[in-house]
Amino acid sequence: MSKTLFEKIWDWHVVATLKDGSVLLYIDRHLVHEVTSAQAFEGLRLAGRKVRRPKPNVRNNGPQYPDR
**Residue 1 confidence (pLDDT) above 70:** yes
Assess contact for 24 and 14: CB atoms under 8 A.
yes
Separation CA 66–CA 68 (nearest Å): 5
What is the pLDDT of the chain when averaged over all its residues? 83
Q: Comparing C-alpha atoms, which of 37, 9, 14, 12 is closest to residue 24? A: 14
* Average pLDDT score over residue span 3-23: 95
pLDDT value, residue 46 = 94
pLDDT value, residue 9 = 93
Question: pLDDT digits over 30-53, tens only?
Answer: 777 767 777 888 888 899 988 877
Grouping H, G, I as helix, E, B as strand and the rest as coil, residue 4 is: coil
Assess contact for 41 and 50: CB atoms under 8 A.
no
